[in-house]
Structure 1
Amino acid sequence: MTDKAAKRRPVASRPDDDEDFGVSLARSIEVFRRWWRISVIETVDRPEVIARRREEAYTSPRYLFMLSMSAGIAILGMLLSSPAVVIGAMLIAPLIGPIIGAGFALAIGDYRWLAGSVRALLAGTALGVGLTALIVFVSPLQTITPEIAARTQPNLFDLGVAVFSALAGAYAMIRGREGTIVGVAIATALMPPLAAVGFGLATMNWTVFWGAGLLYITNLMTIALVATLMARLYGFSHTLSERQTNWQTVMIVVIFVALATPLFFSLRQIVWETNAARQIRASLVASFESDVRISEIDFDLDSDPITVDATVLTPETSRVAERESEESLSVLLGKPVLLDLTQFLVGTELEAEAAEIAAARARERRDDVEAARELGKSLALIADADDRSVVVDRENRRAVVRAGRLEGAGLATYRAIEERITEDYPDWAVELIPPLSALPAIPFADGELAPAGLENLELVAWAAQRRGLPVALQGGSPETREIAAAVLGELDLEPQLQIGGPVMQARWDTDAED
């Protein structure tokens, strides 16, 4: 054998090499553990941290009040579909105290502390759900908004938010850097789902109720258990708690298992849904021989059969792709699958990108049409009108509704309805035409226009502009009629002035009927 051949021959690893690697790895782990104990754990004043966490872990009037305010703001923000308002609710939510307290209590095995934290969480949860349900029950707005719909089912991203929130919260508590921002991180994962539970209860929408409840419980368990693990990692153990009975120790273990069990089932469901989404995309791509780009995909894993609606861009269409994808997905998911596959033929990568942009614009137009349709339905429902009384101009984002006659409602009620609709749809110009009804009197006091008179003149101007009819001011003195006419003139309305009784009365200056 030549020297070159000998050099090319692989050299077998020797047992001594494996032993040296194992020894080196064990030595490195020991060095890291020593560094962690001396440089990290020993720098934490654990008794002081525990004392601070105990103070904020129990039920108190301040805790219940601030939680009530946070829940009220959260549900109003979700009804208005306003992320800014929902964020405002998180700024004052005091949930970080009892939930991090429960995690630390589990870490050190303190039964009394754990029981107090759990009681605070239960009281806060019951109060939050009850208050939000009451607000929704008395509110005229009971539509499922995107803010509510987003909190009806836990997914992998929600779980990630809970994990990172717990890591940030526990670290800040241990290192003594707690503050409002850390509380916001915890409230992000808990307050919106809690408010959504109240919405589901008030509207008896059990899909929202159970879905948001599952998300709330999943996030709560995740935060508590991650806080427990962080506390143990930083040296918080049973040696820091008072002496316990065996019964208390067993109870803590039972509670830990009870916390972990629903989280395990939620995680299993989340993992299944994540894998199902990945398999759906992979199966669609694999059913085409050429390169294919998925432009749009939507699926419902809870339906029976599972429904999948997909749009793909491909340089070569396939007649069997839909059937093959349905068969493969039925096998992979273990349930029947109904696939609706739309194929767009594109030749080059540039054409694919252009087609994808066109599809996105088409989706935007479709969403805009759907928004206009929802606005029309809302207007008809709120104003007690039929569909023929609602005109929606989608291009100019303008809507006009001729309101039905509501029992006991005056012009002020109809104007309030218009204002509320405008607040709900700020991107639209909404006009509500009230039914023809009597105009109000214009009170004066000592020759001066009373505050109620000014309000009524504004109401008269609004009603006249909406109905497009002239008005007359009858009665009062010539001076008061001139004052009222000047106010209406500033509101772009020129009334007829007529002699009458001592009290000025606005009336329609026409015999037109509704």
Structure 2
Amino acid sequence: MLKLFKNIEHQRVVAAVDNESSFTGKFFVLLILSTIIATLGLIANNISVVIGAMIIAPLMWPILGVSLSITRQNQRFLRESIALLAVSIILSIAVAAIVSLLSPILEINGAILERTNPTIIDLVIALATGAVATYIVLTPQSNHLAGVAVAAALIPPLAATGIALALQDFAATQGAMLLFGANLFAIVFMSIILLTIGGFAKTKKEEEKVNITISLVVSFGLLVIIAAPLGIVLKESIAAQHQEAVAFEVLSEEIQNIDETALLSSLVVGKTNPDSNIIVIEATVQAPLGAELFVSDQDRIAQLISESINHAVTLTIIITPTLTAKTPVTSDQIDINKLVTNITKRHIPNSDVLSVTVEETNDDIHITTVAALKTPLSDQKYRQQNIQQQLQTALNRNVKFALNILTYHQTEETE
């Protein structure tokens, strides 16, 4: 293994880190631009854009500055690197929050959610990232690759923190900061180890050797402290996935007793609060008008799920009526269906409207539309609001409109 660290140009590495981890206009321009790109990529749920931000992000250098100054016991350089890193963190979060507030589309999507629910797996990835990035810098390879590796672990969580703050979602903010902190300490820890192996900690003073050892022990201790909640989160995440899978399987089978054409359209599984031992399940079922679900049936289904997951369960099933061949359809309903289909296709080109569900009350018209697209919509909420406003104008009624998008991949038929 030590052969991998032969012929390291120590002066080149020190000069590169010292030159790049300093308060310069170039550093902050790249930091701001990379944060803007990453934030917009997360908001648009577009990982390719986020990867683009990683390419130009300069965050690797102050982190290596911290690790190198600890390894070489350079107190002045350590203070400068920590100051630059702290300013970079605050600036990145602030820029992400401002961009989020200016964005017309802002909601917690899959890309953001991934950065707000860290697990111990993310910590292991960060350890590997720190090792790879430091090794690339120590060897005569492209430092740019090292920057991408580190930015992949740090820029998205910082952008997600700013987005969560803009949404005033403090639970998501806490999760994103936990991920960032775990990644940061993991990268610093691995960098110190590799820099020490690479010969940057050569010193004859026993006091400095002790200080380096203390730094490693403290870094490892922080990793252990952070790893504990991450391990708990991973365990809870696995349990939640199992609970949702069981609930989906049981409900999909049992709703056939309501009607053979009934469809489980949505399922939410969670807890009212983290300390609760009761699993709360909310399911929406699409079934023909007239389909009935008695309280005894709902209690029976809840009992089946409870026994399967070995947890207390409260179950709420909402039946959304659909128009089928079994239900008489009036000319007014046909006209509304056509109107909804036309407006939906106008706002979402290339979509196929699969079904339109209309339910009228004394005050409102509830309309649920299911449409198919080849690619997911990044601004579904924004388009849904526009469709609802146009329907209200056309029908001169208060409309509550729900839009469900199904994505599919078209395959070519072979003869």
TM-score (structure 2 length as normaliser): 0.61
Q: Cα deviations across residues 439-498 of structure 1 (Å, max 9, x unaligned)?
A: xxxxxxxxxxxxxxxxxxxxxxxxxxx98xxxxxxxxxxxxxxxxxxxxxxxxxxxxxxx
CA contact (8 A) 1:297 1:308 kept: no
Q: Cα deviations across residues 361-407 of structure 1 (Å, max 9, x unaligned)?
A: xxxxxxxxxxx9xx99xxxxxxxxxx95785531456xxxxxxxxxx
1:141 aligns with 2:105: yes
Aligned equivalents of 1:224 and 1:127: distance in 2? Answer: 20
Q: Cα deviations across residues 48-86 of structure 1 (Å, max 9, x unaligned)?
A: 222222211222211111000011111111111111111
How far off its partner does 1:262 sit?
A: 4.1
Aligned equivalents of 2:214 and 2:84: distance in 1? Answer: 19
* Highest RCO, 1 vs 2 (Cα 8 Å, sep ≥ 6): 2
1:268 aligns with 2:228: yes
Aligned equivalents of 1:203 and 1:429: distance in 2? Answer: 20
How far off its partner does 1:125 sit?
A: 0.6
Cα distance, 1:325–1:82 mapped onto 2, change above 3 Å: closer
Larger Rg: 1
How far off its partner does 1:178 sit?
A: 2.9
How far off its partner does 1:222 sit?
A: 0.7
How far off its partner does 1:297 sit?
A: 12
What pairs up with 1:413-452 in 2 under 5 angstroms? 424-425=379-380, 432=387
Cα distance, 1:91–1:305 mapped onto 2, change above 3 Å: same
1:113 aligns with 2:87: no
Equivalent residues, number: 303
Aligned equivalents of 2:66 and 2:87: distance in 1? Answer: 14
Aligned equivalents of 2:119 and 2:215: distance in 1? Answer: 24
Aligned equivalents of 1:136 and 1:280: distance in 2? Answer: 30
Cα distance, 1:389–1:194 mapped onto 2, change above 3 Å: farther
How far off its partner does 1:115 sit?
A: 1.6
CA contact (8 A) 1:106 1:252 kept: yes
What letter is aligned with 2:151? A
1:393 aligns with 2:353: no
Cα distance, 1:265–1:43 mapped onto 2, change above 3 Å: same
Partner of 1:305: 276
How far off its partner does 1:152 sit?
A: 0.9
What letter is aligned with 2:230? I
Cα distance, 1:182–1:138 mapped onto 2, change above 3 Å: same
Structure 2 alignment gaps of length 5 or more: 244-266, 282-302, 316-343, 349-362, 395-415
CA contact (8 A) 2:69 2:77 kept: yes
Aligned equivalents of 2:210 and 2:7: distance in 1? Answer: 32
What pairs up with 1:74-153 in 2 under 5 angstroms? 74-153=38-117
Aligned equivalents of 1:175 and 1:72: distance in 2? Answer: 31
What letter is aligned with 1:338? A
CA contact (8 A) 1:163 1:226 kept: yes
How far off its partner does 1:104 sit?
A: 2.0
1:338 aligns with 2:293: no
Give percent identity, aligned residues only: 24
Cα distance, 1:389–1:70 mapped onto 2, change above 3 Å: farther
Aligned equivalents of 2:128 and 2:385: distance in 1? Answer: 43
What letter is aligned with 2:157? P
Cα distance, 1:308–1:164 mapped onto 2, change above 3 Å: farther
What letter is aligned with 2:312? L
Partner of 1:231: 195
What pairs up with 1:50-65 in 2 under 5 angstroms? 50-65=14-29
Aligned equivalents of 2:271 and 2:52: distance in 1? Answer: 33
Cα distance, 1:86–1:306 mapped onto 2, change above 3 Å: farther
Aligned equivalents of 2:269 and 2:386: distance in 1? Answer: 36
Cα distance, 1:185–1:307 mapped onto 2, change above 3 Å: farther
What letter is aligned with 2:126? A
Cα distance, 1:278–1:128 mapped onto 2, change above 3 Å: closer
Cα distance, 1:304–1:99 mapped onto 2, change above 3 Å: same
How far off its partner does 1:183 sit?
A: 1.5
Q: Cα deviations across residues 242-266 of structure 1 (Å, max 9, x unaligned)?
A: x99x7x9998777766655543222
What pairs up with 1:462-473 in 2 under 5 angstroms? none
Partner of 1:454: none
Q: What SS does the corresponding residue of 1:140 show, helix, strand or coil?
A: coil
Aligned equivalents of 1:207 and 1:280: distance in 2? Answer: 18
Aligned equivalents of 1:267 and 1:195: distance in 2? Answer: 22
What letter is aligned with 2:190? V
Cα distance, 1:301–1:220 mapped onto 2, change above 3 Å: farther
How far off its partner does 1:47 sit?
A: 2.7
How far off its partner does 1:142 sit?
A: 2.5
Aligned equivalents of 1:205 and 1:282: distance in 2? Answer: 26
TM-score (structure 1 length as normaliser): 0.50
